[in-house]
Structure 1
Amino acid sequence: MKTIKLLKLQLENFKGIKELEIDFQDNTAIYGANASGKTTILDAFTWLLFDKDSANKKDFAIKTLDTSGNVIHKLNHVVTAQLSIDGEQIELSKKYMEKWTKSKGKLEQELTSHTTEYYIDEIKKKANEYKSFISELLDEELFKLITNPLYFNEQFDWKKRRAMLIKIAGDVTDTDVISSDNSLADLSAFLGKHSIEDKLIQINEQRKNLRKRLELIPELVNEATKAKQDVTGLSPSDLSGEIYVIEDQINVYEDNKAVLKNGGMQTELNKQKANIELELTKIKADEQKEVQEQLMSKAEEIFTEQNNLSEINNQITEFTNRIQARKGEVATKQRELSKLGMEWDSLQLEQFDEHRKTCPTCKQEFPADRISDMVANFNQEKAEKIKENERLGKDNKAEIVELEIEIATLETDSVLSRKEQKEIRTKIALLDQQKIELEQQLKQVENSTTYIEKQAELEMIEEKLRDEKGSSVTAVAEIQLKIDELQAEVNDLKADLSKFDSNKKQDKRIQELEEESAEKSAMYNELEKGLYLIEKFNKAKCNLLEDKINSKFKYVSFKLFKTQINGGIDECCETIYNGVPYNSGLNNAARINGGLDIINALTEHVQVIAPVFIDNRESVTELIHTESQLVSLIVSESDKNLRVEA
Structure 2
Amino acid sequence: MEIKIPSAKAHNFKAHRDLSVNFGRITQITGDNAQGKSSILEIPTWTLYGTDTMGSKLDPSPTNYEYDAVLSETLLDIDGKQVLLGRGIEKGKTTYYINEVPSKAGDFDEIVKSLFDKDLFLSLYNPSYFFTLHWSTQRDLLLRYVAPVSNKEVFTEMSRTSPEQKSKDIKLNPQAAKLSELVKKHTLQQLGEIHKKNKNDKDTAYKRAQGRTEALVDQLQKLPLAPDDIEAVKVEDAALLEQIKTLEAQTDLAGETNRKRTVLESTIQSLQRQIAQAKDNYMRVYNEPIEEHCPACKRPLDTESVEAVTENKERRKEELRTDHQKLISERKELETELAAIEPVDVSEQNARIRELEQQRDRTADIIAAHNSRHGMQADIDKARSDEADTLASRNDSIFVLDAIKAFEAKEAELQATKVQSLFTTLSISLFKEQKNGERKPDFVIEKDNKPYPILSLSECVRAGLELREVLSEQSGVISPVAVDNTESTFKIKKSSGQLILVKAIEDAPLEIKQIGGESE
What TM bracket, shorter-length normalisation?
0.5 to 0.7
Shift of residue 46 of structure 1? 1.9
CA distance in 2, matches of 1:270, 1:630: 137
Task: Determine the structure 2 residue equivalent to 1:495.
Answer: 365
Task: Determine the structure 2 residue equivalent to 1:601.
Answer: 470
Bigger share in helix: 1
Change (3 A) 1:518 1:219: same
CA distance in 2, matches of 1:116, 1:53: 17
Task: Determine the structure 2 residue equivalent to 1:231.
Answer: 225
Shift of residue 4 of structure 1? 0.8
Cα deviations by residue, 1:206-242 (Å, 9 ceiling, x for unpaired): 5556655665565444333321223388874675566
SS in 2 for 1:554: coil
Change (3 A) 1:562 1:93: closer
Match of 2:72 among 63, 73, 79: 79
Matches within 5 A, 1:606-625: 606-614=475-483, 620-625=489-494
| One-letter amino acid of the structure 1 residue matched with residue 50 of structure 2 | D
Tell me if structure 1 keeps the 8 A contact 2:29–2:37. Answer: no
Task: Determine the structure 2 residue equivalent to 1:94.
Answer: 87
Task: Determine the structure 2 residue equivalent to 1:190.
Answer: 178
CA distance in 1, matches of 2:427, 2:197: 37
Matches within 5 A, 1:138-157: 138-155=116-133
Tell me if structure 2 keeps the 8 A contact 1:29–1:634. Answer: yes
Tell me if structure 2 keeps the 8 A contact 1:557–1:577. Answer: yes
| One-letter amino acid of the structure 2 residue matched with residue 144 of structure 1 | L
Task: Determine the structure 1 residue equivalent to 2:153.
Answer: 176
Shift of residue 519 of structure 1? 7.1
SS in 2 for 1:184: coil
Change (3 A) 1:156 1:7: farther
Cα deviations by residue, 1:575-614 (Å, 9 ceiling, x for unpaired): 333333446x444443332221121123334444333234
Change (3 A) 1:17 1:502: same
Task: Determine the structure 1 residue equivalent to 2:50.
Answer: 51
Unaligned runs of 5+ in 2: 161-169, 268-333, 339-344, 514-520
Unaligned runs of 5+ in 1: 99-112, 272-463, 469-474
For these two proteins, the number of residue pairs brought into alignment is 420
CA distance in 2, matches of 1:207, 1:492: 50
Task: Determine the structure 2 residue equivalent to 1:627.
Answer: 496
Shift of residue 80 of structure 1? 3.2
| One-letter amino acid of the structure 1 residue matched with residue 122 of structure 2 | K
Matches within 5 A, 1:362-511: 487=357, 490-491=360-361, 493-510=363-380
SS in 1 for 2:145: helix
Shift of residue 148 of structure 1? 1.9
CA distance in 1, matches of 2:45, 2:512: 22
CA distance in 1, matches of 2:350, 2:423: 106
Match of 1:547 among 401, 409, 417: 417
CA distance in 1, matches of 2:138, 2:346: 102
More displaced stretch, 539-548 vs 243-252? 243-252
Shift of residue 560 of structure 1? 2.8
SS in 1 for 2:374: helix
Shift of residue 190 of structure 1? 2.3
Tell me if structure 2 keeps the 8 A contact 1:144–1:151. Answer: yes
Q: CA RMSD in A?
A: 5.0
CA distance in 1, matches of 2:392, 2:81: 72
Shift of residue 534 of structure 1? 5.0
Change (3 A) 1:586 1:479: farther
| One-letter amino acid of the structure 1 residue matched with residue 224 of structure 2 | D
Change (3 A) 1:520 1:136: closer
SS in 2 for 1:230: coil
SS in 1 for 2:182: coil
CA distance in 1, matches of 2:484, 2:39: 11
Task: Determine the structure 2 residue equivalent to 1:264.
Answer: 260
Task: Determine the structure 2 residue equivalent to 1:114.
Answer: 93
Matches within 5 A, 1:187-226: 189-191=177-179, 193-195=181-183, 197=188, 198-205=190-197, 207-208=199-200, 219-226=211-218
Taking structure 1 as the reference length, the TM-score comes to 0.51
Tell me if structure 2 keeps the 8 A contact 1:11–1:44. Answer: no
Task: Determine the structure 2 residue equivalent to 1:19.
Answer: 17
Shift of residue 114 of structure 1? 3.5
CA distance in 2, matches of 1:222, 1:88: 80
Tell me if structure 2 keeps the 8 A contact 1:80–1:94. Answer: yes
Change (3 A) 1:63 1:480: farther
Shift of residue 143 of structure 1? 1.8
CA distance in 1, matches of 2:43, 2:384: 79
Task: Determine the structure 2 residue equivalent to 1:279.
Answer: none
Change (3 A) 1:222 1:164: same
